[in-house]
Structure formats: structure tokens, C-alpha cells
Structure 1
Amino acid sequence: MSKNKEKCIKWKNADFYLFYTLAFAGIALFLYMRFYLNGKSLVWSHDGVPQHLNSLAYYGRYLRKILHTLFIEHKLSIPMWDLNIGYGSDILTTLHYYVIGDPLTLLSVFFKSSQTEFLYEFLIFLRIYLAGIAFSRYAFYHKNSKQAVFMGSMIYVFAGWTIYAAMKHPYFSNPMIYLPFILMGIDKIYKKEKPYIFIWSVALAGLSNFYFFYMLGIFMVLYAAVRYFEQFEDRSLKNIGRWLGTFFVYSIIAVLIAAVILLPVILPVLGTDRFKAQNYVPLLYDKVYYEKYLGCLIGENMIQWGVAGFTAVSMTGVFVLFSKRKKYTALKVGFVLLNAFLLLPYAGHVLNGFSYVSNRWIWAYGMLIAYIFVKIYPELFTLTLKEKRKIFVMLLIYCGIALLPDAARTQRNMMAVIFLVAATFTVLSFGSFFVKKRNLTIMVSVFLIAGILFNIYYQYSYEKDYLSEFTGQGEALDKLETGTDLAVLDTEDSSLYRYDQMGTHTYENSSMQMGTNSASYYFSVAIGNISNFFDEMYLNTPREDKYDNLDSRTILDRLAAVKYFVVRAGEEEYLPYGYNKMAGEAEKKGKTYRAYECDNALPFGYTYDSYIPREKYEKMSVIEKQQALLQGVVLDESSLPETDLTFNDSEVPFKITTGKGCQEKDGKLIVTKENAQARLVFDGLDESETYLITEGVNYEALSPRAMISDKKWENMSIYEQNQVLHENSSWRYWKKSQKAYIDVTGKFLNKTIRIYTDKYNAYSGKHNFLCNAGYSRMGKNSLTLTFQNTGVYSYDDLKVVCQPVTKVDEQVKKLGEESLQDVKVEDHELTGKISVSKPKALVIALPYSTGFTAYVDGKKTDIKQANTMYMALNLAEGEHEIRLTYHTPYLYTGLCLTCAGLLCYIGVVLIYKKKRGNKKG
């Protein structure tokens, strides 16, 4: 195609894009007004505040800082690590999932933090808008009419995925932008056109988000396979191999271009507990899923992220598609295949990276549905009587099955079916009631837009109550200015330290916004060494990617260099041992927060004169491990003498009494009533922390029938039994058995053990928990367990252990006698000075990472992984200057691969230019 002809086509399509923009703006305004008129922002309260908005605001500051150092200070400095993120985290690997790599988030450099909410909301709609543009480019490439492309674009961009999921997670729209370009690139390669679009769309997808890049790769392969068998008659192994080789080369070039981000991000993810956890994958979904399935395609949201909700007219297109014999085979195969994916949990497991079952790939199904309508649009005007009969029968069958189950007959589903019936009858009436194509087009368009507007209206109706999950206008960023951080800042302490808290955090990651150093974290990508340490310590953090504190455990807070501990006024019982002096106070929304200073806190660098072999450490109990860390450093090997360990913990016998609705039997607690209780009575020790330890704990929900004893069942009437059986038929074992909560209450204290099972999407394989019932001068004598959920709570062991704190001050003092002084952290570098009287191991309370490089007196020194979570340096007797620098692991390797990919791409361009020159010659 000549350049002049391409320009002519683009000019002719200008009116399409103007009309598309106006229609998009109108529907987007309708959607936005659902928020605006209710005083809501588009920032989701749960993940939106601590993760999405927080990351976008941080990224803007981050980019501006880089530009400031470049143009004002005339040096290039790109920070790669930040102590304000969790215990200290890699910036790229933590924030890539949210902002880094997405070209659109670069706009944050132009917006102050106070303006981030506006940018955040603008980007939500910009991404959806661009998805429609991408879809139209694909559809126009395949020579479809403007009317058809317009309707298909509306179906694509205003489906359940965007009006529900993209509002929660803005970047969930990104794969919708890349998918059409990738598929168009595949078609161009098959037509032996330039592969540039394919290479760059794949590369940008890889740079943007590794999670959706994986899914895009699967659909890319499926599409290429279907298109091959559709277009080529030569299906010999030789020809298939030739095309496989072609796509392999171009795909490798694209992946190499993206390697600068893709490589350093993917490798840490593969080592996380959440990735390695064996999630429950049922053979089939619950019965209710299949009962609601057909209706949910055009109505309600399905479970496991099956957010279809396509405007009802799209299903009319499917009916027309299947009324045509021997046509559109590829689209029919695609429709059957993707519906099979939606119906089988294992497909959701595979498409979610072999993790928990999730249909977060449904945006790809949306493109198929939309393009089916685009392709069959011309057929609406040429239907034969026989085909109309088929469509009518399909409509009857669909409506009957979709609305037959009670669970499916929701207001939204029934209204969607009404739109479907009206649209389908409008199409069937063409040639009799409607005779002008223009009138049919207008009517179908009206039903299409009406279906979209209804889905939006109902999703954000008061009955659905989805709006309640979003923050108020202008409030989101303010929520990250927590009273906890304000109390810590009120100490006016300029030294380097961490703070911990109990029961005060409204949101994790607030330290990113406030510039403090906390013990909390909540991002999708977590540091494996921290999770491993938490596992060893039985910390009550069932999610490895979300942790709030160290459970007020004195030893763990000391080892983490926690100088301040924050509680709400009146809740001082949550303070660990040794935090006696109030050093800061702040008020936030009528609540008072107080920061207490530790009498004997450890600094960020402290020293051990002996070590514990890891092999020996791993054989200890959880309480012994905790005590051991105050006496010797845990290393694989060392030249230091081995630690002579002493332990003073005491397991105390207890009696358990169960209340109404709770029964103890064979190492299980069977709970048949919500908030049923069990009480543990014992004689605790003075000056101790009291621990409730559960090992091998698991949870299984009880169905309505299972909660009724056989004796009670026999005394029930047939009607009452049938009522229970009816409830039992809609009971969802998989859903109900995901998680459970046990409140642990003692004198003036209330904590919660959270149990996540392999049926929960955030399951990380954790089954051992230690709940710290708190420090007390006088020994505790009882704990009450309140079970929030009915079900069976099983465990391998349940015990109460008292941990005296009498030796803690002495042991901590020894570790801090010779410590790192004048510690400074700037960008990705830590410096300090230390003097030791004999050979020692300097432990630095930063998470161990291969990205750190250490220099002692200017000489590069090996960094050892110490105490599972932290880092250690061997020091000889004398004074030393310490410097640690950080570079993202595999970043330089990825950069080299990106350069190689760009060189390969240039080679491809030159080859195509040479071919073009030869043709002209």
C-alpha cells in the first residue's frame, strides 16, 4: 500500500475518531458522575490508596529528583533503593507492577504530589480511551466498516472489566491497549509485511507489566496458531517450523528490548512464597458459578475475577455468528475455546501463572466478543429466514438457561436479558418492520449504548454499594499522612531508626509519603528473605506481601532497630517491653497517637562476637531461635567462635474449656456458632511475654447441614430439613473455606490470628503462627479464643509459652556496645564508622540482597546473609569506615540485553530496507 493511500485512509477515518471521542467522553462522563455526585474519588480505598495512588505520587517525586540532579547538579543519579519502602526495598522491582515501565505514568513528572489524584483519575480514562483506539486500528486493518468498528470499540472498552476492575486497579486496562496491536502485528508478519508493530507492542507490554505480559504471550500464541490454520493450506512440519522460527526471532528481539525491566523484576518474583505456594485448584467451580454463568456474560460479575458484563447487544452478535454455516470458523473456535477457559478452573490457574485460580485474563475474551460483532455487523442486513429462525431458537435457549436458576435472576441480569431480547428482535425484524439499514443501525446503537449505561448505573447503584469502597474526593492522599507517622515525626529525631506500631495503621506504605522508616509493607512483590524470617518466627502474617508490624515482640523489634513504638492513647498495653518514655504525640481525625521511645534500642548496625551455624539454628524451636538471635549471629559458616546458647523460655500447661457452639475433638476445634469461644487457663510467669503458638493450623468451613448434629436433624420436620438442604445446595465450600479469624483476648489486650487456606488467592503456604499476648509484669493466667467463623480449626500442636525478658537488656547492651556510628543513608548508599575491640560480625538491619556491595576501609568485602533476613560483614579488630552501595540485581545484565535487542531490531529494519530497495531496483 502506497504512503499516499495510507494517508488518504487515515484522513477518511478522522471523522470516526472524532465521533468515537465524543461518544467515549459522554459515557465516561456518565461513569465519572456516578462518583462525583456521591462525593467519591476514583481511588479504591483498599489497594488504591496505599499502592496505586501512593506509587504514582512517589514516582512523580522520583522522576523530578532524577531530573533535578541531572540539570541542576549536572550529574546522573538514579536511586535504586529506598529505606522508606518497607524495611528497605528495591524501587524498580517494588513499583514496576504499578507505575515503572508504563509509558503513561511518566506524566507524573509534571504533577505535584497534591495533584496526583487528578492525574490518577485522568489516566484511568486515558487508558480505556487508548484501548478503543488500539481496537479500532486492528479492526480497520482488517477492512471493517466505521459503523461496525465504532460499535465493536464501545463493546470492548465499556465491558465489566473496565467499569469494575480498571476502577480498582487502573493499570488493568494496559493489556487492552497492547493486545490489538500484538494481534495486528501477527497478521502483518503472516502477510510478510514489516514486523515493527509486533516487536514494539510486545516489547512495550513486557516493559509495562510482567503479570499481564505473561497472559498476552499465551493469547499471542493461540491467535497465531488459529490464524495459521485459517490462512495456510500448507501445514507441513517444514512450513510450521519456518513460521515458528520467524515468530521466535521477532519475539526474542522484543523480549530483549524489554529485558532492562523484565529481567530484574521477574527473577525475584519466582522466589516468593506466594509464587511457590500450592493453591487449591478444583476440578470445577461451585454450582452457583455455572448457574449464573450465562447471565453474567452480559450482566453481573462472576467470582474469581470473571468480570464480563458485556453490553447485551454483543450476545446478539454471537447468535448471528453461529447462525452462519461454514463461515467465521476461527471466531467460532475462539469463542468456544475462551468459554471453555472460563468454565474450567484449571485454565484460570494456568493463565494466572500457575498460581491461584483467577480469570483476570477476561479482557482478552472482551476483544473476541467485540470483534465478533464487528465481523457479523454486515450480516445483520442479509439474514435469511432460516438463519433468523436459528437466532430465535438460540435466543430462547439462552434466555431460558440464563434465567432458570434462582441465583441468576438478579435485577441486573434480568434487565440485561431484556436489552438482549429487544436488540435481537430488532435485528430479526429487519426486512419487515425495519427496511432501511440506517434505521437498524441507529436502533442497534441505541440498545448497545443503553446496555453500557445500565451496566455502569447498576454497578455503581446503592444496592450494589460498590461506591462505598472508594475514598472521598480529595481525601486519598491525606489518608497516607497517618497519625502514626506524625507522632514519629513529632519526636524531631534526626538519627536513623525504624518505628513499629500496633493497631494504629490506617494504611501500610504511609512511610513512602511521609519519609519515615516503618516495619510495615503492602505491595504485590515482596522480598523473599523477609518472608522466610517471618516464617521462622511464626509471625502472624499469613500474606507474605502484606505485613503491619512485628507483633510487639520485644526481641524482634530490638533486632530490627526499632527505636519508637506507636500506639493510640489509652492502648499502652500493646507496647513491648522497654518502651517507657513518650517522645512524640499527634492527633489525626480526633484520635491521639503516641510514639514511645525504647530505653535500650539497637542501632542499624550492631556487632556479634560469636556465631550460630545455620544447620544448628534450623533445628531449634521458634522460641529458641528468637532467643538465639540476641546471643549469636546466624551464618552458614564463620571464623568466629560458636555461641554458647542459653534459653529461659517456659512452656506452661493449660486447660481448655469450650463454650456454646465450640467443641474440642481429636486435635480440632469444631465451631458451629459464629463468635463461639474457648478459654485457655494457665499459670503464666512474671516479667514475661506470653505466647500462644499454633503449629500446622488449618481451617475448613462447615456447610449448613454439617453444622446440625444427627440427633437434632432427626427431630426436625421434613420442611425444616428441606430448608436446610436448600441452603446447602447453594453453599460454596470453596468460597467459604478461604480464610478464618480467631480473636485472642487477655487482660486489656485483643489480637487476631488470621488463617488463610490454599483456597484463598493470597495464600502463601503459612500454617504456623505465634500470637504475642503481650508483656506483663504479673503473669497472665488466661486467654480467650473467639472464633469469628464457623468451621473446623485443626492443628498439630497448640501450646502456651512464656518468654521472660529479664536477659534482654543485658544481651541487647552487649550487641550495641560496639556499633555503627554516624550512619547516613542517601539514595542507594549507606555509610558509617565503627570501632571493634576484637574480630566481630557487623549485622546491618537491612534486608539481605545480592544488589548490595560492601566496602570496608575502601576495600570490597563479601556480604553474608545473617539471621535469615539481614546482612553481615566480617570486621577485624580496629577502626573501620563502612560503605554499602546498591544496584538492582540483574539490571545491568538486562540493560546489556536491551542494547542487544535494539541492535537486532536495527538489523531487522536494515534488512527490510534492503529488500525494499531490491524490489525498486
Structure 2
Amino acid sequence: MTRKWIYPVLLTGLFALLIRLSLPAGCVYGSTTDWLSQHTALAETIRTAMLEQKTLLPTYLSLGGGSNGFQFSYYGYLRPDILLGCLLPAVSMYKIVIAYALGGYLLSVLLFYLLLRRHNLSGFDSFMGSVLFLTASCFFHTHRQLMFVNYMPFLLLALLAVKKSPRRMPALLPLWMLLICLHSFYYAPACFVVIGWYWAWLSGKYFFRPWFVSCALGGFMAFALLLPTGLSILEHRRASTSGDAGLATFFEDFQSLLYSSYGLGVTLIVLYLVILGVAIRKYRAISLTFLLLFLWGGISYLLNATLYARAKILMPFLPLLLLHCALILSDLKNGRERWQLWPFPLLFAVIFRYLHKSYWTLVLTDFIFLLAVVLLAMAVSEERAEASEGVTSMPGSRLRYLLSRFAFLCLLIIPCLFFLRSASKEEFVTQADMDAALDKPALALYTDSLYRYDSLVHPLVNGNREASSVRSKSSMYSSVYSNEYSQVYYDYLKTPVQINNRLAILTANNPFLLNFMGVRYLETSPSHVPAGYRVLWEDGKTAVSENTSVLPTAYLTTDTMTDTLFNRIKGWEQAEALTRTTVIPESEADASTISGKVSTKNADGWHTEIRYYQPLWSSKEIPATVQLTTTGDIKNRSYDLKVSRDSTVTLTFKQPIQKQLLLLKFDVVNHTGKAVTITINGVKNKLSAPSAAYPNGNEAFQYQFLASAEKELTKLKIKLPKGHYTLRNIRFGLLDASVFQEKSWNSVESLDTEKNEILACRASTDEDTWFVTSIPMQKGMTLFVDGEKTDLVTVNTAFAGARLTAGEHEIRLCFDPPGMKAGIWISMLAGIVWLSLLIFQHFHANKERH
């Protein structure tokens, strides 16, 4: 092995060791939260859509009732590992994702080492800087939020290209910028800023023109992805749930820089070097810029497109930060600059803010260790001027050299420990859990395109999984979603909120939801098959059941009410109204389409069949771990609960409930900083902790329990979490189970779809009627009736529908994502311009040689 390969080999070995030590036995390299439920699940779903639709840009995914595919493009459209998955369809997508993530991580470390070497740092100095890069806690996201870091190798290739050619546009730079956009368009603006800053660092004012041209070419070549994605984001934009102060945000404890895996996640040695750089003239400006960047949250706020001021957007600055620190460290090691103790009071003031953190002991150890190493380095520092050639080494110089190297290597211990600490906080997926998530029921179903297939088995894990043209799902988990669809799902149909945020639209055992969204096939555990469903298959762990009475995803009806009336009714009655009738715009209503269920005698115009109910209990089983205080009268009773550990309360009805839907609602007041999750008869509601990244605000818990003649409701089994909280405004209601057969509707005949069609059917009616779907309305939809374009109307507040005249009709609902065709043309044109520039540069270079 030649000398120049020693340090890359050592880096590769250290990388393998740290990854091995961070991964528990029997686990897969990925988290049980976002990695499993979003990144790998959507990678599999996107690959399936690519293969089915025979395109690299699927226009439509059968998630969330049916969605613009570009709502999910952040999770893998045109990303190389997904494209590789299309070439290897027999290989599980999660294996390809893991291999690609780890490969990109290692490549980033080696490219950063090369970048340091290009700045004339020695192999040892470059190795030290590269270890700091390798151990940065932000790389935690190679097994959680992939897009936080998966652009890193292409960012480093861009920096290396600029280093090689700082006076003109590097030939391949637009390609690296394109790949940054394809891997993580959210981080692309920050990456482009980093490239521009580095270019200015190298060449001063000459950087702007070639940098701007490179950004334009790289960005425009990605427009096939960026334009339709941007239009989708604008269509479904939502207000930020953040409580940040925006431009007035400050990271006083430098959590944007230190320790956190949602910042850069480096240790005190980096902050020490940046502060020390302020006292060194040639490093002063850059050090001050970095201190401003990591102290003032306003820059993060701007880079996050004013959504919130969060440090995660600063991760692309890691290479420049550590390059800056490596240069200072090299000068200190080689005696060109002096070690100083004056930064330590400032460092202690920073770490004192971590006093009450669970990892305070490790933070304090970091401070003490750094101080000891600096003192040791000061004691054995090398002479400023190197000995001239031929001068005999002074006695002890070899020992001083070894002690100096030892002091510097000691600086790498704490970063490695913090890297392992961050990994130890991850909930890695076990191989058994991964196998269970991928396990498919051994049941061949012909899933009619007019019905859906959902899962109550780990709804978060399965929310984005297995969607295809024949297995449409009502669930989805993406940062871009239809606000109107989410409102129907949670606010109108009263579906329980099961996790910390409402970004995830998850299937739940809610009879209103399952009926309305046409969930004919349902995966559950064998002991939790909902009433109305008949078991088709089970294996002891999972059961697949069918309900033939749910509404299809498209049907005809004259049973309607106006949106004006719908908006006047509240609470459970809105779920009841969507179940019994169809909501249409006031402007489209006439006497022929208004349902007889709408009462002209009632002041509100709506006659509800919900009966408010006060249950009687034959027994109450309350464990001693639940301390209960009751206030208020029988109609407005509140229960203050102090639960010393997770407990179960069982309430048995004096009279079992049959053929009715039991409705239960109560408000939760949380008296602690922890989340409150209450599960009743297997149905879970959660109020997130106030500190959650996207708090769900779910203070009103809603439950619905359907009892049939065969499956009567005899008790409520209530699982309470440890904590202190109050349940108040408790209300029960009853609704006859026949409510699910009350809506008058006629079926349509499914037809094969073609090209960009998402629904094709044949309908026959003897009178003017409404064509109703449970496919969310979105821009890009076009309806053709008998070959003629027909106006679409929003029905049930969020879904596509239309008026039909009497007769037989062929109906085809088409979808073209807004901006996709224009984006493809722009990408092609930008690609041609880039290739033309390459050819011009090639001939110009040949001309100069001759």
C-alpha cells in the first residue's frame, strides 16, 4: 500500500467500525419512524408506480384517496437509488436505500478528505478534519431523514470542481447541482449558497457570473421535477405550525452547531477553533460569519423559505465549516499560530446552558477533555520555524513530536463518543419488524378499482406502503397534502389523530371513514376485525376482511345537501351528514337534488338521528395506580387523573349495545410536558407534547364504536398513560347502524383506464343526477363525459364530482400534473444549453493548446 492511501483506508475502517458499533444486533439500518413509514415505504411505492405507469415521473399515486404524484417527489422522484430499484425489481427497496445511503456517506467522507488535501493540508491534518466530518451527528439522518444529508457527496463534488477551476465555470458543475436538486430540492438553495460562498472565498468578485450561470443551468435542468413539485406545494401550502420568532430567533446555546443531530452536531473543538479564528486576521471574517450563521436564527428562517427558523437547513455548511477549522488546526499544529486559553470562559458560558440536559456529563467531559488537550498541545507544541535541512534534531524532539500527534488524536475521541451517543438514541427497525412490514397476506384479491384496500396493522408503517393501480389507499404520510382532504378526514369524519402531528393521514377504525372512503378490504389483527367486515383470510397475526356495503369511490346520487347548510351543523352531525347525503355547492343546488333528509321545519335545516346518551355501568375496574378526582354534575363531569404508571380501566355496560354506533368525545387538558395517548377498545388518540416538532393540537379526543347483532359492545377497555391530565366535556351519542345504508346511490361500471386517466366508468341514469367520487379535487384534473370536456365540481367539500343528465354516459377522469410538460421542455432546453457550453469549452481549450 502506498503512503497516500493510508489515511483513506483508515477513514474507511473507522467508518465501518462506527456504523457497526452504532447498529444494535438484529436491527436494520433505519429508524422506526420516518425512515420506515416515509422514506423506504414511499421509495417502494414510487418504484411500483414507475414500473406500472412506465415512466420516470409518475403523474398520480393511489395514496391519500388519489394524489398528484409530485406531492411525494421529495421522497425519490428521479433519485438514482429509486432508478436503480426499477432495474432490480426483485430486490427490496429498503436494501437499496440502505446501500445507497451508506455508500453516499462514505463517499462524502473520502471526498472531504480529498478537498482538504487540495488545500495543501498534510495527510495527517486532512485525516483529523475528515474524522470531525465523519462523526458529525447530522449524519444520524442516513438512517432517519435521508434528504437532510444525501446530497452531500454531490455538494463536495461541486466544491472540488470549483477548487479546480475557480476562474470559470467548471464543466461538470451544473451536473452536480442537478443531482443536488434531485436528491434534496429542499436543501438545494442552501447548497447553492455554500458553493457561491466557497467560490467567492477562492476567487473574490470573479465568482458571481460563473456561479450564477451554473446555478441557472443546474436548476433549470431539474425543472422537470422542480416546476410540477413547486406548483403542487403552492396548491397545498399550509401555514407553519412553528412557534418560532422568525428573524428574531437566536440559538443562544449554539444548538445549531453543537451536539444535536438536527443541527450540524459537532463538538466543542469546532466552536473553539471558530472563536479562536476571530483573533487571527486571515481567518477573522470567515469566523465571524460562521458565528453569525450559527447564532442568529434569521438566516435559517430565510433558508427555510420563512416557514420556521430551524437549524437543520444549515447542514450543507458543514464542509466549509470543517475546512475552515481544519486550516486553523493545521496552523496550530505546525506552530504558525498559537494555542490560546481565552476562548474557554466563552465555551463554558455556552455549555452551561446544557446543564439540565440528559447528556450534561458528556458535554462537561467534552469541555474538560478539550481543555486538557489544549494544555498538552501548548506544552509540547512544535517550534514555529522548522529546522533547516541538515541541522541535527535536538534531544527529545521525537518525543515532543509523538506527544503532539497524540494530543491531536485525543481531540477525535469525544466526537466519536457523541456520534455513538446520537445513534444510541435511535429506535432502529428490527429485522423482524422489517420482515413483518414487508410481509404480504397469502391471499390473491381482485381489488376493484372502485374500492380501496387499507391497513389497521401499524397504520403509520403501512400508510404509504403497497399503493398501486389496483390497491388504492385512503392513507398517506407526506409533508405536502391536500388541506381539504385532511379536514374531511379529521375534522368532519372525526377520525382519531394517532401520532404527534396531523401531517400523517392514517387509517383508523372509524366506521364513518371506512364507509365514506370505500375501504372494502381491510387488514387488521384477527381480534380487532371491525363490525360489518367478514374475514377472508388470517394467519394468526393478520386478518384480511371485506365489507361489501361501503360506498364505492365513484357513484351516482340525487341525495344531496348544500355546503351552506353543512357548514351550519357541527360536531358528529357533520360525519352523519356526509354518511347520509352528499354535500354540493349552494350555487349548484336545485329542488330536484336536495335530499328529503334536509328538514325545512328545523331551524337549522337538518334533522339529525344522533341521540345523546348517558351510559350506565354494571362494573368499573379502576386500578390503584389511577388516582381519580371527580368534579361537576352528572351532565358536565370532569375527571382529574394522576396515573403513576401505564394502566387500564375497564367499564362494563349495564346493557350491551347492539346494531348501533356509539360515539364518544372528551377534551383533554395536559398538566405535564409529555404526550397523552389514550386507547379505547384498540382505537388510539394522541395529544402531542408541547415540544413536538409539529404539535397536533388534538385536545378533543373522538371515538366511534360500531356494534352489530353478532358483535355487541359490552365494555370500554381504556388504556391510560402515565401522567397528570384532566378529561372534561365528556359526551356520548348513539346512532343506528342503518345510517350506513341510508344514502341513496346507484353504482357505475368500471372500465379500463388509458394514458393519463385515473378513473374510467360507464354510468346510466333515468334522471339528472350527480356523479360523485371520493378522489380529492386537485388542479390538473379534467373530466370527459362521452368524449366532451365537462366542468368538475367540488363535492363533499374536497372531492371531484359533476352534474350528469339522464341517459347512459361514458365517464373518464384524467389528470396531468400542472407544470410537468413545461418542466420537461425547460429541462431539455437547459440540458442542450449545457451540452453546447461543454462542446464550446472543449473546442476553445483545443484551440488554446494549438
TM-score by length of 2: 0.80
Q: In structure 2, what is the equivalent of residue 732 of structure 1?
A: none
Aligned to 1:259: 223
Q: Distance in 2 between matches of 1:784 and 1:592?
A: 21
Q: Aligned equivalents of 2:307 and 2:584: distance in 1?
A: 32
- 1:230-269 mapped onto 2 (5 Å cutoff): 231=204, 251-269=215-233
Q: How does 1:423-822 map to 2 (within 5 A)?
A: 423-428=373-378, 429-431=380-382, 439=402, 442-443=405-406, 446-447=409-410, 450-459=413-422, 464=424, 466=426, 469-473=427-431, 475=432, 477-482=434-439, 486=441, 489=443, 496-502=450-456, 505=459, 507-509=461-463, 511-512=465-466, 516-534=471-489, 535-541=491-497, 543-553=501-511, 555-572=512-529, 574-575=530-531, 578-579=532-533, 581-582=534-535, 584-587=536-539, 590-598=540-548, 600-609=549-558, 611-629=560-578, 630-635=580-585, 637-638=587-588, 641-644=592-595, 645-646=597-598, 647-652=607-612, 654=614, 660-662=627-629, 671-673=641-643, 687-693=659-665, 699-702=669-672, 736=673, 739-743=675-679, 745=680, 749-756=681-688, 759-763=691-695, 770-775=702-707, 788=721, 790=723, 799-811=731-743, 814-815=744-745, 817-822=746-751
1:334 is matched with 289
> Structure 1 617/182 Cα, relative in aligned 2: closer, same or farther at 3 Å?
farther
1:443 CA drift (Å): 3.0
Structure 2 distance, partners of 1:356, 1:785, is 37
Any residues of structure 2 matched to 1:33-72 within 5 Å, and which? 33-34=20-21, 38-61=25-48
CA distance in 2, matches of 1:506, 1:478: 16
- Give the secondary-structure state (helix, strand or coil) at the position aligned to 1:480: helix
**CA distance, structure 1, for counterparts of residue 656 and residue 301 of structure 2:** 47
User: Residues 413-461 of structure 1: CA distance to partner in whole angstroms, max 9, x if unpaired?
Assistant: 355446534542443212387568974774356335544544444445x
In 1: Cα distance, 2:97 partner to 2:828 partner:
32
Q: 2:319 aligns with which of 344, 347, 367?
A: 367
Q: Give the conservation status (yes or no) of the 8 Å contact 1:509–1:522.
A: yes
Residue 82 in 1 paired to residue 61 in 2?
yes
Q: Show the 5 A alignment for 1:374-393.
A: 374-383=326-335, 387-388=338-339, 391-393=340-342
Aligned to 2:390: none
- Distance apart, 1:531 and its partner CA: 1.0
**d(CA) in 2 for partners of 1:381 and 1:908?**
44
Instruction: Tell me the percent identity.
Output: 16
Q: In structure 2, what residue type is equivalent to 1:148?
A: D
Q: Contact between 2:81 and 2:100, CA under 8 Å: does it hold in 1?
A: yes
| Distance in structure 1 (CA, Å) of the matches to 2:458 and 2:281 | 65
Which residue pairs with 1:204 in the alignment?
179
Between 176-185 and 611-620, report the one with greater CA deviation.
Answer: 176-185
1:247-326 matches, cutoff 5 A: 251-272=215-236, 275-281=238-244, 301-302=259-260, 305-306=262-263, 308-310=265-267, 314=270, 317-318=273-274, 321-322=277-278, 324-326=279-281
Cα distance between partner residues in 2 of 1:870 and 1:150: 58
Query: The residue matched to 1:612 in structure 2 has which SS?
Result: strand
Residue in 2 that maps onto 1:716: none
Number of equivalent positions: 808
Give 1:558 shift: 2.5
Aligned counterparts of 1:910 and 1:664: Cα–Cα separation in 2 = 82
Shift of 1:42: 0.7
Structure (1/2) with the larger helix percentage: 1
Residue 667 to residue 565, structure 1, CA distance change in 2 (3 Å): same
Distance 1:920 1:381, change over 3 A: same
- Describe the shift of the 1:456–1:279 C-alpha distance in structure 2 as closer, same or farther (beyond 3 A): closer
* Cα deviation, residue 840, structure 1: 1.7
Q: Which amino acid aligns with 1:88?
A: G
**CA, structure 1 residues 111+476, in 2 after alignment: closer, same or farther (shift >3 Å)?**
farther
* Paired amino acid for 1:87: G
Extract unaligned runs of 5+ from structure 1: 1-13, 70-75, 233-241, 703-735
- Judge conservation of contact 2:785–2:809 (CA < 8 Å) in 1: yes
8 Å contact kept, 2:668–2:700: no
Separation of aligned partners in 2, 1:471 and 1:278? 29
SS of 1:539's partner is: coil
Please say if 1:867 is aligned against 2:796.
yes
- Cα deviation code 1:236-259 (max 9, x no counterpart): xxxxxx987876565444332222
Moved more, 406-415 or 831-840: 406-415
Cα 1:278/1:492, change in 2 over 3 Å: closer
Task: Please state how far the C-alpha of 1:122 moved relative to its aligned partner.
Answer: 1.9
Q: Within 5 Å, which residues of 2 pair with 1:840-879?
A: 840-879=769-808
Determine the structure 1 residue equivalent to 2:388: none
Amino acid in the other structure paired with 2:355: P
Cα distance change of structure 1 residues 505 and 774 upon mapping to structure 2, 3 Å threshold = same
Q: 1:376 offset after TM fit, Å?
A: 1.6
**CA-CA distance at 1:272 after TM superposition:** 4.2
Tell me if structure 2 keeps the 8 A contact 1:673–1:790. Answer: yes
The change in CA–CA distance for 1:759 and 1:889 in structure 2 (over 3 A counts) is: farther
Deviations 1:108-138 (A, max 9, x none): 2343444544433321221112323543565
- C-alpha spacing 1:306/1:793, structure 2 compared with 1 (3 Å): farther
Distance (Å, rounded) in 2 between the aligned partners of 1:766 and 1:348: 28
Amino acid across the alignment from 2:142? A
Q: Tell me what 2:15 maps to.
A: 28
1:161 alignment counterpart: 138
Task: Indicate the SS of the match to 1:519.
Answer: coil
Matched, 1:413 2:363: yes
Distance 1:538 1:108, change over 3 A: same
2:132 alignment partner AA: I
Using a 3 Å threshold, how does the CA distance of structure 1 residues 609 and 890 change in structure 2: closer, same or farther? Answer: same
Q: In the TM superposition, what whole-angstrom CA distance separates every residue of 1:458-496 from its partner, at most 9, and x where no partner exists?
A: 445xxx464xx22334x46522235xx627x35566675
- 2:101 equivalent to 1:124: yes
Give the Cα–Cα distance (whole angstroms) in 2 for the partners of residues 63 and 596 of structure 1.
29
Question: Structure 2: which 5+ residue stretches go unaligned?
Answer: 384-395, 599-606
Q: Give the residue type in structure 2 aligned to 1:262.
A: L
User: Contact 1:854–1:862 at 8 Å: present in 2 too?
Assistant: yes
Q: Deviations over 1:839-879 (max 9, x none)?
A: 22222332322233332222233332221332213322222
Q: Is the contact made by 1:853 and 1:863 (CA closer than 8 Å) also made in structure 2? A: yes
Change (3 A) 1:118 1:631: closer
Q: What is the letter of the counterpart of residue 471 of structure 1? A: V
Q: Is 2:760 aligned against 1:831?
A: yes
Aligned AA (1:870): F
CA-to-aligned-CA distance 1:638-694 (integer Å, 9 cap, x gap) = 376341334333352659999835465899865554569899999998643122345
Residue 539 of structure 1 aligns with an amino acid whose one-letter code is: T
- Corresponding residue number in structure 2 for 1:97: 74
